[in-house]
Structure 1
Amino acid sequence: MILNISDEKFELIYLNESTINIDYPSMSSTKLVLDVWGVTLPISVYGLEAYGLTEHTKPFNDDIYVSGYSRLTFHDVTGGNIEVELYSKEPPYSKLSWLDNSLMKINKTWGEVYQEDERNIYEVEGTLAWPYGRCDLSAVSSSNVSIELKSTNFIPVKEYLLNTKKYGWSRIFT
């Protein structure tokens, strides 16, 4: 299922608990593609119709956690910014620090990042799979943004919360 989540519809997905893989081979100078594990669809907030679901097609009576990768695509990207606070690659995945104890961060800005029309600026927060760390990404798109979801990966949020090791992202998925 593919959802158009341009402009204010971007709020239909919750990404803060997700893990992000940037799909570099699918990118171009104007297209940003992210494979995102752990998208949450807050149906209780926005209603079934916002997601193209009906009482007959809804999988269960709870918000949806997508236990698998979803493809998030930004078209006609004119700029962006990414900042990653790096974590160690071994458990307990602690934050990395420089010799002066400041946090190890990397940052990249490209193109036009600030726009008068803030509807064109999309903010994504999550964990970046590589380089591994907490990620804040802003993408500026003058066109549509879409997400491709596999309904076979839908589980109730409550089920995910009860068994995060089973349904959450693992380093073996990279």
Structure 2
Amino acid sequence: MPITHGGTSIGAHSKHPERALMAYELIRQDEEVYKLINFGLEGVQYEIKDGKRVRPAAYDEAKDAFYTDFWGGRVDKFDVPSDADWSGIGDVYKKYDAIKKPFPYGKFVFDKTKVDVEMTSISQVIGEQLPAIIFGKTSDPEKAVLEFREKLKSAGYDKVMAEIQSQLDNYKKLVEG
């Protein structure tokens, strides 16, 4: 996992950053609040039976549906597996744990300072060109992809890739010592 995986931040222009941090910490440290944010109201959106989250008998999708995606704030000790989770996933994790290798770039954080202008240009090209390609809204997809690639190159794609590679190479030298 990258060091920034699951990272949560408070906006630089937040009027009350200390209050935002207090709210975030409450969600992560208080089991009742954590379950409310992640699972909804117990008895309405979920019940716990045999250590698993299940839908209550009176659950009505039309009025009781609830969904959040708080993966960045996940706290394993408060998490309750769902009855919809595949029961064999634990065996898969064990097999994976036996063969996995450490990811050497987990603590690498790209410094975009030298290519900030190019990254902004690339983002603009992507925003303008990619939706039409992805959603099949071009009359000539092959031509659209070629034009997209050319515009990325013109925006500085190669310079950005070279900078990323340079930083990765330097990071690798540091890690391998």
TM-score bracket for this pair, using the shorter chain length: under 0.3
Q: Structure 1 or 2: larger helix share? A: 2
Q: Higher RCO, 1 or 2 (CA under 8 Å, sep at least 6)?
A: 1
Q: From the CA coordinates, give the structure whose radius of gyration is larger.
A: 2
If the length of structure 2 is used for normalisation, what is the TM-score?
A: 0.22
